[in-house]
Structure 1
Amino acid sequence: MAITVSIELNRELEVPAGYDEVFELLADVPRSASHFPKLEKLTDLGDNTYRWEMEKVGVDKHAIQTVYASQYFADKDAGKITWEPVKGEGNGVVRGSWVLTPKSKQVTALKFHTRAELTLPLPGMLKLAISPVIKHEFNSLVDTYMNNLKKAF
């Protein structure tokens, strides 16, 4: 038996760095991912496609791990980096985007959007109890990621 938890997040922030520098970091998936908390392993699958394996959460047989793969597309002229899910990779389906807007020579505004569906091997009756916990954890990870990116600039 499994449950599926859907999560959608939007964040906006400004970083103290020029557009080119910010785009370069975010378009370089391994560099950008190095700022993401609790990432256990990032595997290059080729063609700008990466498998993300997060650290396990929980204990023993009740530990769960999120694994997913996405293909990344960077369009510097449009100021957009997007990712689309790769089917059949792990227990997650994740898509999203960064939209970058230069505010000045040394400030870039960022809009982050992501949608994830995580399928976890848990009984259906736990969905009401576990969904808020998973959503909170995902929010916390993304918030830490945003703070880490700010510090990187």
Structure 2
Amino acid sequence: MAITVNIDLGYEFEVKAKAADVFAVLSDVPASVSHFPKVEKLTDMGDGVYKWEMEKVGTAQVNIQTIYASKYASDKAKGTVKWTPVKGVGNALVGGSWKITDNKKSTGLVLKIEGTVDVPLPGLMKMVVAPVVEGEFEKLVDKYIANLVKRFGGEA
């Protein structure tokens, strides 16, 4: 039996770096992921598909490792990087997008992430586990954004 936890996050911020430099990092999946905390392993599966294996989180008795794959596509003209979940890999389905806007003196960024994580625990634990999983995911994304802001010369 597993609990399915929904993830739905959205962020909007500006950085000092030029839009072309920001796009270059965010559209290069390994470069972008290098800023994401607690990634144990990133595997290039070919054809724009990357498998993420996160570090285990939790206690010795109850720990969760999130594993999933997403297919990435970027469009420089539109300033977008999008990823869609790949079914059948790991215990999560994660999709999302970056929208990069050149504001002349700064670069606007909009990040959206949505997905589900299946946690192998009894349904009775959902009320306890779901907020923990959601909170952990949110903390990781917050740190990822902080790392990117630092990489791109701070917030504008």
Paired residue secondary structure (1:35): coil
Paired residue secondary structure (2:82): strand
Once the two structures are TM-superposed, the CA of residue 48 in structure 1 deviates from its matched residue by: 1.2
Unmatched tracts of structure 1, length 5 or more: none
The residue aligned with 1:88 is 88
Q: TM-score, normalised by structure 1?
A: 0.97
Partners of 1:36 and 1:28 in 2: how far apart?
13
CA RMSD in angstroms, aligned pairs only: 0.9
1:3-152 paired onto structure 2 within 5 Å: 3-104=3-104, 106-152=105-151
Partners of 1:45 and 1:64 in 2: how far apart?
23
Once the two structures are TM-superposed, the CA of residue 60 in structure 1 deviates from its matched residue by: 3.2
Partners of 1:114 and 1:63 in 2: how far apart?
23
Unmatched tracts of structure 2, length 5 or more: none
Number of residue-to-residue matches in the alignment: 152
Once the two structures are TM-superposed, the CA of residue 111 in structure 1 deviates from its matched residue by: 0.1
**Paired residue type of 1:144:** K
Q: TM-score, normalised by structure 2?
A: 0.95
Once the two structures are TM-superposed, the CA of residue 117 in structure 1 deviates from its matched residue by: 0.1
**Per-residue Cα deviation, 1:97-138 (whole angstroms, up to 9, x for no partner):** 00010011x511000001010001001000011111111111
Partners of 2:130 and 2:86 in 1: how far apart?
23
Once the two structures are TM-superposed, the CA of residue 61 in structure 1 deviates from its matched residue by: 4.6
